[in-house]
Amino acid sequence: MTFPAERLGRSCPVLCVILLATPASADQSVSLDSLQISAGARVFSQSCLPCHGANSPSALDLTDPIELHRKSPTAAKIVREGVMPPWLPSEMGAPLMHSRKLSDVDRTALLEWLDHSGPGKVPATEVLPPPSQNCELIVRVAENWRVGADPGLTLRSFALSRDHAIDRHAAQYFNAVELVADAPGLVHGISFLWDELGYGARLDASDPAPGYDAVGDIGLNASGSGGGVSRLSTLWRLPKGYAIEIPTDAVLIAEVHAEGRGKVESPAATVRFLAPTEPFKPVHAVSVSAARVAMIATACEAVSISIRAGAHVKSIDVFAKDANGHSRCVLNIPRWNEALSEPWIFDPPLALDAGTELFVRSTVNEVAKDTLVDANASAMNQPMIVLLVADKDADLIREK
């Protein structure tokens, strides 16, 4: 259900939207420890620990020295074979930031470390310095939702009213989103949409339980057009010089993906939207699916790409076909893993000329081919791709 603004102030003190007037953190110093560990250990920390720490997506905790000691030979073997890190976009697509892809130099350093000095010495998980930006707003997401014990991903959407304390007349922008989950690892990902029409709020209100049982898309606007975070990318940040507008009076829709872990748990999380610190171009969403080719009308720069696709999807390709009919691959994921999905940032931003057509090709596994599915499941078999793009010639916006 939705929480109308007038109820917020009185009875839901922690809920929904709080305005932070002060900068997020005054302390911007970064620990020097990370500079003292070897290159291989640093690669391990950056490329492996996001999935192999405590509470992370795989059951294997390599921050445990005994486990690391035991698994080092296997780890070295599968890194040599290119098995780990897994499920990443391939080199065929456009370059991405923080893709955890190993360069040759990094792979050599990691193998050296795993072979010789790794066991027993576990580098601390890479901790990002606290964002030094002003926080635009904080929301509590999925409050009061309980995820059951059964494994298997579940999805639920939530409509979150904005507190009337926020100055509605001021244009508001953000260029980063930070996820702090109450129970880390339980929530796989949250994608956002700013709903100006109120459909999401109505759906939420008509469902007696918290949230509603459908994807967060509103009409042709796909969830993810307001950015997204995942347990692998808890701080999602657009490149400098780009930001997303929060439309006046819009309701925030959060589409939450979580997975049971053997007990009933609350996937509630705190999400912070961070204001841009320098002049920027506003971005808007372009969504693409098998059923929907997107046409780029004005030359633009794509800065972010996110995907929603179910467990039966096997591979995903996104192509850009220019006005001369020449196609290039923008994103290629040879082996899709729903449980390890995350939003990606193009680095550098991807130039798309006017007249470019974006389209998707994907395959599904044998299970999906053999099973008759309902409309919901069949939608999840068709990846929904959201690109955030800025018009190439857009004027820079400077917020006061």
Tokens read off for 386: 């959201």
- HSE-CB at 241 with a 13 A cutoff on CA atoms is 12
- Closest contact distance (angstroms) between CB of 123 and ligand HEC is 12
Q: Cβ distance 224 to 177 under 8 Å? A: no
Q: Which is nearer to ligand HEC, 48 or 268 (CB)?
A: 48
**Between 100 and 162, CB nearer to ligand HEC:** 100
51 binds ligand HEC (CB under 6 A): yes
| 58 is an interface residue for ligand HEC by CB under 6 A | yes
Residue type, 127: V
Region of 26-34, 71-79, 260-268, 372-380 interacting with ligand HEC (CB under 6 A): 71-79
Residue 15 burial (10 A CB sphere; 0-12, 13-18, 19+):
middle
84 is a contact residue toward ligand HEC (CB under 6 A): yes
Q: Least distance (Å) from ligand HEC to the CB of residue 84? A: 4
Query: Among residues 3, 8, 40, 50, which is the contact residue for ligand HEC, using CB under 6 A?
Result: 50
- The CA-CA-CA angle for residues 331, 333, 337, to 5°, reads 135
Residues 6+ apart with CB under 8 A from 335: 86, 87, 314, 315
Q: Which stretch binds ligand HEC (CB under 6 A): 6-14, 24-32, 81-89, 365-373?
A: 81-89
Contacting residue, 48, 229, 303, 379, with ligand HEC by CB under 6 A: 48
The residue among 70 and 361 lying less far from ligand HEC, judged by its C-beta, is 70
DSSP 236-251: EEPPTTEEEEE-TTPE
Q: Residue 289 in contact with residue 383, Cβ under 8 Å?
A: yes
Indicate which single residue of 2, 47, 172, 223 sits in contact with ligand HEC (rule: CB under 6 A). 47
Kindly write out the interface string for residues 329-348 of this chain, putting x where it contacts ligand HEC by CB under 6 A and - elsewhere: -----------x--------
The span from the CA of 288 to the CA of 201, in Å, is: 25
Candidate segments 68-76, 170-178, 312-320, 361-369, binder of ligand HEC by CB under 6 A = 68-76
In whole angstroms, what is the distance from residue 171 CA to residue 248 CA? 7
- Which residues inside 99-158 make contact with ligand HEC, applying CB under 6 A? 100
Distances (CA, A) of 307 to 6, 70, 226, 236, 387: 35, 35, 13, 14, 9
- Using the rule CB under 6 A, give the single segment among 85-93, 119-127, 137-145, 212-220 that binds ligand HEC: 85-93
Question: Which residues lie near ligand HEC (CB under 6 A)?
Answer: 47-48, 50-52, 57-60, 71, 74-75, 78-79, 84-87, 100, 340
